[in-house]
Structure 1
Amino acid sequence: MPDVEQDGSRRRGRNETEEERADRMWSELIQEVRVAQMGVQILFGFLLTVVFTPTYEDLSGTDKTIYIVTVVLGACATGALIGPVSLHRLVSGRRIKPQAVRWASRLTLLGLALLLVTTSSSLLLILRVATHGDYVAYLVAGVVCWYLLCWLGLPMWARYRHTTR
């Protein structure tokens, strides 16, 4: 017989308290953030070095603007993806882990969105400098669509397809 609560309703998911669920979700979130943090920090580090290369002076005004916007986006993505660590450290022991998990999750989603835009604008800048082709915008749009499919489309499809009602 399936697990049944005292009120007669069926129990769904794991049998865990709110605190246990928050602990589990925190551990999962931190593992996910580690992957994204590594990527954004490497990208941001490379972006910071570009301005110190001789080629930077040869960039057009538009390319320099794209570079500056990309660096700022990278800084914002880095901040959002490191934010959950600071949040956890500052609220640890305050008995608000469920709320902290919600805020850390929001920061992570914001960081991923910023990472998408940072990566896309980095690609735009690189392809503009490397090719000077009219097709660059189409290539970048294609990559953005690929990111959206991998980062949003597939997860939303799986959520819709495999979530019990």
Structure 2
Amino acid sequence: MAVDTTSRHDKETEKQRWDRNFADLLQELRVAQTGVQILFAFLLTLPFSSGFPQATAFQRDTYIVALISAAFATAMIISPVAFHRALFRQGRKPELVRYAHKMATGGLFFMLISMVSSVLLITDYVLHWKWAIPLTVITGLWFLTLWAGLPLAHRDWADDDEDRDS
């Protein structure tokens, strides 16, 4: 008995593929948007906390890096919505998907910078720079492993699945 290894994606039209790609991107952006907005909100309130005046110049600089990169991440992750509004009903979904992909990637980059900077800020404030530096490096490497290393190393997973099915 022959096994049909044709994927449902092979039967979709080009328009259906772009619509699916856009829907997939929106789902990803919803997850990222929630995380970056929570981080950004936290960072916006930090200077108004009672302990912030005791922060060192290094901690204040680190805070600015974390805050600005969170703002950039927020702007980039939300920007596909504005782009969609501008292109609504113009039949330019491929352009929108390509733009949204670039903005999502850039937004994740700035989110990484903001998360790592926030870890550096908090660990330096709570512990000491001798602990803050290695903990921040470990955190940054962990994010890079999960967000870049593993996805790049496993881009061919779909090919492996097809090989097992045949």
Common topology (TM > 0.5):
yes
Contact 1:70 1:121 (C-alpha < 8 Å) held by counterparts = yes
Pick from 90, 102, 125: which aligns with 1:106?
A: 102
Cα distance in 1 between the residues matched to 2:81 and 2:127: 40
**Which of structures 1 and 2 has the larger relative contact order (alpha carbons within 8 angstroms, sep 6+)?**
2
Structure 1: which amino acid aligns with 2:41?
A: G
Cα distance in 2 between the residues matched to 1:47 and 1:133: 20
Query: Is 1:95 the equivalent of 2:91?
Result: yes
Contact 1:18 1:98 (C-alpha < 8 Å) held by counterparts = no
Cα distance in 2 between the residues matched to 1:76 and 1:2: 48
Alignment of 1:1-150 (within 5 A): 13-150=9-146
Q: Deviations over 1:28-57 (max 9, x none)?
A: 000000000000000000000011112111
| Structure with the larger helix share | 2
* Superposed displacement of residue 91, structure 1: 0.7
Structure 1: which amino acid aligns with 2:44?
A: L
Answer with 107-116 or 87-96: which moved more.
87-96
**Structure 2 unmatched runs, 5+:** 161-166
Contact 2:18 2:94 (C-alpha < 8 Å) held by counterparts = yes
Structure 2: which amino acid aligns with 1:75?
A: A
Cα distance in 2 between the residues matched to 1:87 and 1:163: 33
Cα distance in 2 between the residues matched to 1:32 and 1:124: 27
* Residue of structure 1 equivalent to 2:163: none
Cα distance in 2 between the residues matched to 1:160 and 1:145: 23
* Residue of structure 2 equivalent to 1:7: none
Q: TM-score, normalised by structure 1?
A: 0.88
Q: Deviations over 1:85-112 (max 9, x none)?
A: 1111211101110111000010000000
Cα distance in 2 between the residues matched to 1:52 and 1:19: 49
Query: Is 1:159 the equivalent of 2:155?
Result: yes
* Superposed displacement of residue 62, structure 1: 1.1
* Residue of structure 2 equivalent to 1:6: none
Cα distance in 2 between the residues matched to 1:30 and 1:143: 27
Identity %: 37
Q: In angstroms, what is the RMSD of aligned CA positions?
A: 2.1
* Superposed displacement of residue 15, structure 1: 2.0
Answer with 150-159 or 121-130: which moved more.
150-159
Distance 1:37 1:94, change over 3 A: same
**Structure 1 unmatched runs, 5+:** 4-9
